[in-house]
Amino acid sequence: MAARRVHELGALSWRLAGQWRAGVAGLGSGLAARGAVKSCSGYVCVQSQRSLPFTSPHTGLIPLSAGWRGYRTGWRGQEEGMRGWGVMVAVGGALGVLHSMNYVLGEEQKTEEEETQVPVGGVQLTLYQYKTCPFCSKVRAFLDYHQLPHEIVEVNPVMRKEIKFSSYRKVPILLANAGCPIQLNDSSVIISAMKTFVISKQKSLEEIVSYYPALKSTDEKGKAVTEYQNRYWLMLDEQETKQLYASKEAQMEEMKWRRWVDNWLVHLISPNVYRTPGEALASFDYIVREGNFGSVEGLFAKYVGAAAMFFIGKRLKKRHNLQDDVRQDLYKAADTWVKAVGKGKKFLGGSEPNLADLAVYGVLRVMEGLKAFDDMMANTKIKPWYQRMTNAIQEKAALH
Ligand SMILES: N[C@@H](CCC(=O)N[C@@H](CS)C(=O)NCC(=O)O)C(=O)O
């Protein structure tokens, strides 16, 4: 049991979890408790099936206002997400009493401001995540760039009790609460649905989400697979589409590269960050530091998880047909991406990042601070684009 759990620990080990589970079938079933979130009407609005919600009618759902665009955003979610890490202590200790006082005063002002930042539709977003999970990082990059305020709940990867309300047992999960919670599963569905919601003037979020149904099937090995229809498609009318994309090609290109991120780029992360025993240990050290672990749990995770992932990384390398030297695939992907962006352009989206830029950035960012990231920066042409992305997201944050 303990070994299975450790296996689930790595947020970078999203692939591993399934493999491990298959190996020790049955042990984890107790963890996947079906849950329900009580809504305003006392009814369960959140999907409790493994499929995406909203294929069946929900009682008590409040249609979300299309006035989302009009509201001012803030960074409360981010700040609260960091609360557990003792931000106050760090800031107070580092900057001294005077600075701390300024900070406290600043916080008070911010709190007042935040009270005026309630979205028109009353929609509150909560992102359930592992900080170092590439899928979650992708969603965060999207939310941050679009200045959509959100609370962050760091899920404990061992028990995952923070998402016990959900029968969908992966992260990211985005809960949009407009009186009743609407649950969005899968990073690309979350991004497509939320982008549609930000732009579309006609549709409620509930309606938008209904356009991304979950399709369940079994693969050739008899394993259950869930696919989401329209995953990369934005549900916009002709006029909205024309406003967003300079051309049909630009729209298709964005979809193509978003797919590439999910089908190829993410698979390069684990084999690269767990490439050697030393790198695997450094990766798990980072995962444990950033994640929501108990202290004993964390220690256990660090060493056992690193050892397990070193071997699993090799298996993943084979499964995805990576070269023996996995760095070469990472370098190639980075340079392929730079080439796709093009010479005279800042981003694939032109002067502003599009959803593909945000997806690539979100995935690569989880390697920051690790050797694989430094090697990629040193051996490819991706650095200027990456820096522009970092600046673009920081500039948005600075506006608030
Ligand atoms: N296709 C999903 C993949 C999400 C995913 O695999 N998440 C991993 C964490 S990185 C997870 O929650 N794994 C837990 C599990 O498989 O039980 C997405 O894009 O959101």
Domains assigned to the chain: 32-74+117-231 (3.40.30.10)
Over 70: is that where the pLDDT of 60 sits?
no
Over 70: is that where the pLDDT of 194 sits?
yes
Residue 331 appears among annotated catalytic residues: no
Chain Cα centroid distance, residue 24? 27
d(CA 293, CA 298): 5
Interval 279-338: pLDDT, tens = 999 999 999 999 999 989 999 889 999 999 999 999 999 999 999 999 999 999 999 999
Q: Which long-range contacts (CB under 8 A, 24 or more apart) does 13-20 make?
A: 13/270, 13/305, 13/309, 13/312, 14/133, 14/134, 14/135, 14/170, 15/267, 15/270, 15/312, 15/316, 16/270, 16/308, 16/309, 16/312, 16/316, 19/312, 19/315, 20/308
Over 70: is that where the pLDDT of 348 sits?
yes
Q: Which of 14, 129, 166 to probe ligand 1 with, by most ligand atoms within 8 A of CB?
A: 14
Interval 87-115: pLDDT, tens = 333 323 332 332 333 333 333 343 444 44
Q: Which of 76-80, 169-173, 324-328, 371-375 has the lowest mean pLDDT?
A: 76-80
Q: Which of 77-81, 251-255, 313-317 has the lowest mean pLDDT?
A: 77-81
Residue 135 appears among annotated catalytic residues: yes
Q: How confident is the model at residue 122 (pLDDT cuts 50, 70, 90)?
A: low
| Structure confidence at residue 13 (pLDDT) | 42
| Structure confidence at residue 397 (pLDDT) | 80
Regarding predicted confidence, which is higher, 373 or 94? 373
Regarding predicted confidence, which is higher, 57 or 324? 324
Residue 232 appears among annotated catalytic residues: no
Q: Which of 129, 143, 153, 170 to probe ligand 1 with, by most ligand atoms within 8 A of CB?
A: 170
**Is ligand 1 within 6 A of the CB of residue 172?**
yes
Indicate the helix (H) or strand (E) that contains 258.
helix 248-263
Mean pLDDT score of the chain: 76
Q: Which of 24-33, 220-229, 309-318 has the lowest mean pLDDT?
A: 24-33
| Structure confidence at residue 353 (pLDDT) | 98
| Structure confidence at residue 179 (pLDDT) | 78
Nearest CA to ligand 1 atom 14: 170
Percent of the chain with pLDDT over 70: 69
Q: Which of 72-86, 130-144, 202-216, 375-389 has the lowest mean pLDDT?
A: 72-86
